[in-house]
Amino acid sequence: MRVVILCSSIYSETSCAMAMRLAQLGYVPTGAITLPSLDLHTVLRKVGQWGVPEVVRYAQTKVISRGRTEAQLRNPYLEQLLQHRTGSFRTLREVAAGYGFPIVTCRDQNAPESIEQIREWSPDLIVFTGGNILRKPLLQVPRLGVINVHLGLLPEIRGMSSPEWSLLNGVPVGVTVHYIDEGIDTGPILRRSEFPEAAQCSSLDDLRNRLIAFGIEKVSEVVTSLDRGTISATPQSELDEDNQYFVMHEWLQAQAERRLNEGHLAAAAVRAHG
């Protein structure tokens, strides 16, 4: 099966780990489309999610420090996925060189030149790991469609800050692998998976990092199942069509962190008396 990856930057740890995991399973990407590393929309989205200080620190370790020995992982749970024979890959360019697939940088994943490049690669499937809101002309190119992993259970939790909103709304923390359609997190569902280790997470950052690694494994399982023809998608229900969440206010984020910590302490107490 021919797979193309769409990503927000060659420095995206998630994209690197996803490409490597698929390659390890025999699905070496046919190619990857990436946005420029300093894409404004990506930077603004990360500022909303992480805050300015963390974005600056990330840029220093990924973009400013070019040496491999200096490049640190923001998500330690991806370290094992990024290991190869002589060390660890830190950029998608390194992954592409190691596995022999091309990378093309474009200003917009929906741009005509991007779509034309994808058509030349003739993918069966596109795996989205970040970037623009995708439009119909691109979505119609791959034979099977475009899939994404969402860090929340759909349809209950759509949009941004999904793990935090899950905690606040009493929805189990988990991930959903789904087809992308023209809506926001509204496409047919391929797999919903509750995350079994949420109570072990010590912070929201820890939770999100673990969920990303968990989601990569779920995407790889879905890709394998799609190739074998053993999985089908289920349309989302009409439940709360307007339940799209946005980046969480700091006060609400603190409440979500408190709920996570309560679960973490309760789980620790059970282990201590087990």
Q: Are 49 and 23 in contact (CB under 8 A)?
A: no
Top-confidence residue, 43 or 16: 16
Residue 179 has pLDDT above 80, yes or no: yes
* pLDDT of res. 68: 46
Residue 192 has pLDDT above 80, yes or no: yes
SS3 83: strand
Q: What is the pLDDT of residues 37-89, one digit of tens each?
A: 765 565 555 556 556 566 556 565 655 555 444 467 889 999 999 998 878 89
Top-confidence residue, 167 or 59: 167
Strands 174-179 and 145-150: antiparallel
What is the band of 254 on the pLDDT scale with cuts at 50, 70, 90? very high
Q: Are 32 and 59 in contact (CB under 8 A)?
A: no
Residue 270 has pLDDT above 90, yes or no: no
The identity of residue 169, as a single letter, is: N
Instruction: Locate 61 and state its tokens.
Output: 């370790």
* pLDDT of res. 69: 46
What is the band of 220 on the pLDDT scale with cuts at 50, 70, 90? very high
- pTM value? 0.89
* pLDDT of res. 93: 95
Q: For all residues of the chain together, what is the average pLDDT? A: 88
Q: How far apart are CA 185 and CA 242, in angstroms?
A: 11
* pLDDT of res. 241: 59
* pLDDT of res. 70: 46
* pLDDT of res. 269: 62
Delineate the domains of the chain, giving CATH numbers in brackets: 3-272 (3.40.50.170)
